[in-house]
């Protein structure tokens, strides 16, 4: 087995310390809608008020709402005027009239639009469902189809507690953010809940953020509260680790970026693997965690983005995130023979490879593959996709698959892999592992370093 492979039973987990401030002075990191507000700002959907504030608790009127929703859904210029008696050629006229002409909004029975009136949740639901072209099934009352159309996207924030609630600017940003970025991992209300109807078992599980098993593709939330939202595995193997901190994982953000929020993993000078930290009293560094969020699968793809800074020293190698399994639904956990580990790594030349617990019949290797691709250290984001299909049974069959992509180019593939010895063991989620070296003290990083990560997404099919 490659020395970069370390089971979680010897890990030391690390903690988060957010280091960024909100884009608007009146939107602190602790605000419920901070991530959403930052997203709609960086996407150019909103720009805030002239004084630089956002005013997240302010109600939204119907004219403002139309402008912002159309800004999120229409790339081309909108136009129009004189479409309602109370909508002539004001600043908002082109948005309202464009929406009216395209069946997004209809107005009131008296023929007016009432642009200055505060918009209710159900009015907003209809406009958003139409603007985002969500599937609509006719039903009564009139607003039920539009509210239910938001359910698959988990786009009804928990702060919405009744149909007539006046939407705030923060809630508006939250709904748009979830639909625009396809974030389906956040807790959400349902029509049945708001109507006081009995809930199904599926709805109850879906609305419990501690028991989130969502549909594919699934993107791990990249908010300042990520450590609470990623459903990290808790079992007897984490007894020691739960007492540790996450101080080498820092949440950050940057405006005008393809990825406005990210995690920066730090590796202090002299740090190496958790094994070295525990057994040789050396500095901590990096991260080693397992995160759920999805139902176990026999095929899983992981996509994420990585950014190595200029001047990065690869030293003697290190590890990068991958997939894990055989822990949550296994009676053995990682102390038995069920643990599935397929993670990425780099060597002393910066070559990208795959490490873990597996055997390959075709090339006669155990626990490691190496590509011919060198990781870029240019301070730019690069896409990584790992696609794994577990072997079938009897367990002697080496017919598992593995594909590795770097910036959409396939750099390694094999179809003769054995990962598991029991068909009860499946892939279960993200193996967030990254540190320098192996079990040797001399594999430590020679200086303080860091790597940025973002956009962790899982699917039960291809993601490349």
Model pLDDT, residue 198: 58
| pLDDT average, residue stretch 182-194 | 85
Backbone angles phi, psi at 394, to 5 degrees: -60, 160
Model pLDDT, residue 321: 97
How far is CA 217 from its chain centroid? Answer: 10
| pLDDT at residue 234 tops 60 | no
Question: If DSSP codes are grouped into helix, strand and coil, which group holds residue 118?
Answer: strand
DSSP state of 84: B
Comparing CA positions, the residue from 89, 4, 1, 94 lying closest to residue 351 is 4
Q: Average pLDDT over the chain, rounded to whole?
A: 83
| pLDDT at residue 6 tops 50 | no
Model pLDDT, residue 222: 83
Model pLDDT, residue 395: 55
Model pLDDT, residue 257: 65
Integer Cα distance of 94 and 81 in angstroms = 6
| pLDDT at residue 184 tops 50 | yes
| pLDDT average, residue stretch 371-395 | 92
Question: If DSSP codes are grouped into helix, strand and coil, which group holds residue 374?
Answer: strand
| pLDDT at residue 22 tops 60 | no
Residue with tokens 């949740």: 121
Residue 276 φ/ψ region, left for φ over 0, alpha for ψ in the -120 to 50 degree band, beta for the rest: alpha
Most confident of 212-216, 295-299, 407-411, 459-463: 407-411
Residue range 327-360, pLDDT digits in tens? 765 544 333 457 889 999 999 999 999 998 888 8
Question: If DSSP codes are grouped into helix, strand and coil, which group holds residue 342?
Answer: strand
Instruction: Give 457 or 464, the one with higher predicted confidence.
Output: 457
| pLDDT at residue 2 tops 70 | no
Model pLDDT, residue 206: 43
Most confident of 220-224, 347-351, 436-440: 347-351
Question: If DSSP codes are grouped into helix, strand and coil, which group holds residue 434?
Answer: strand
Model pLDDT, residue 315: 96
Model pLDDT, residue 5: 39
Residues 6+ apart with CB under 8 A from 345: 2, 4, 317, 318, 319, 320, 352, 353, 354, 355, 368
| pLDDT average, residue stretch 64-85 | 88
| pLDDT at residue 294 tops 90 | no
User: What confidence tier does 4 reach under pLDDT thresholds 50, 70, 90?
Assistant: very low
Lowest mean pLDDT among 9-23, 146-160, 396-410, 418-432: 9-23
Model pLDDT, residue 144: 93
| pLDDT at residue 110 tops 90 | no
pTM given for the model: 0.60
CB 291, CB 432: distance < 8 Å: yes
The residue extents of the domains of the chain are 8-16+224-459, 34-211
Question: If DSSP codes are grouped into helix, strand and coil, which group holds residue 144?
Answer: helix
Q: What single string gives the DSSP state of each residue in 436-463? A: B--SSGGGS-SS-EEEEEEEEEEESS--
Model pLDDT, residue 16: 29
For the domain bounded by 8-16+224-459, which CATH number is listed?
2.60.120.200
Q: What single string gives the DSSP state of each residue in 181-231? A: TT---S----HHHHHTPPPPHHHHHHT-GGG--BPSSEE---STTHHHHS-
Instruction: Give 244 or 302, the one with higher predicted confidence.
Output: 302
Instruction: Tell me the percentage of the chain whose pLDDT exceeds 70.
Output: 83
| pLDDT at residue 118 tops 70 | yes
Residue range 166-177, pLDDT digits in tens? 999 999 999 999
Integer Cα distance of 300 and 306 in angstroms = 19
Instruction: Tell me the percentage of the chain whose pLDDT exceeds 90.
Output: 50
């Amino acid at each position: 087995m490659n020395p970069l492979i370390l089971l979680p039973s010897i890990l030391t987990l690390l903690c988060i310390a957010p280091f960024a401030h909100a884009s608007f002075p009146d939107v602190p990191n602790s605000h419920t809608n901070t991530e959403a507000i930052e997203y709609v700002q960086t996407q150019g959907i909103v720009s805030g008020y002239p004084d630089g504030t956002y005013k997240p608790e302010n109600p939204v009127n119907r004219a403002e709402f139309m402008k912002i929703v159309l800004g999120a859904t229409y790339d081309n210029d909108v136009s129009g005027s004189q479409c309602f008696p109370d909508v002539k050629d004001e600043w908002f006229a082109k948005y309202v009239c464009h929406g009216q002409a395209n069946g997004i909004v209809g107005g009131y029975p008296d023929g007016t639009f009432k642009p200055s009136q505060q918009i209710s949740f159900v009015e907003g639901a209809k406009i958003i469902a139409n603007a985002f072209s969500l599937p609509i099934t006719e039903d009564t009352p009139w607003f039920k189809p539009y509210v239910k159309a938001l359910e698959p996207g988990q786009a009804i924030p928990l702060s919405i507690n009744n149909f007539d609630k006046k939407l705030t600017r923060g809630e508006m940003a939250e709904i748009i953010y979830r639909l625009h970025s396809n974030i389906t991992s956040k807790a959400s209300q349902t029509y049945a809940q708001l109507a006081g109807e009995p809930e199904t078992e599926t709805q109850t599980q879906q609305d419990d953020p501690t028991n989130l098993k969502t549909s594919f593709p699934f993107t791990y939330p990249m908010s300042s509260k990520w450590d609470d939202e990623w459903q990290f595995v808790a079992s007897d193997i984490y007894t020691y680790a739960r007492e540790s901190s996450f101080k080498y994982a820092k949440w950050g953000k940057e405006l005008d970026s393809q990825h406005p929020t990210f995690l920066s993993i730090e590796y202090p000078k002299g740090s190496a693997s958790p094994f070295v930290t525990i057994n040789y009293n050396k500095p901590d560094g990096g991260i080693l965690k397992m995160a759920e969020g999805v139902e176990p699968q026999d095929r899983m793809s992981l996509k994420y983005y990585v950014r190595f800074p200029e001047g990065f020293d690869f030293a003697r190698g290190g590890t990068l995130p991958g997939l894990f399994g055989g822990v949550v639904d296994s009676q053995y956990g990682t102390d038995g023979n069920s643990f599935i580990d397929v993670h990425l790594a780099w060597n002393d030349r910066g070559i990208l490879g795959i490490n873990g617990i597996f055997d390959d019949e075709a090339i006669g290797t155990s626990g490691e593959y190496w590509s011919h691709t060198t990781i870029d250290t240019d301070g730019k984001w690069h896409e990584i996709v790992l696609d794994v299909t577990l072997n079938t049974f009897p367990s002697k069959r080496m017919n598992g698959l593995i594909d590795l992509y770097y910036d959409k180019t396939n750099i390694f593939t094999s179809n003769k892999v054995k990962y598991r010895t029991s068909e009860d063991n499946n892939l279960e989620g993200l193996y967030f592992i990254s540190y320098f070296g192996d079990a040797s003290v001399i594999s430590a990083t020679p200086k303080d370093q860091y790597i940025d990560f973002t956009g962790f997404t899982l699917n039960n099919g291809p993601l490349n």
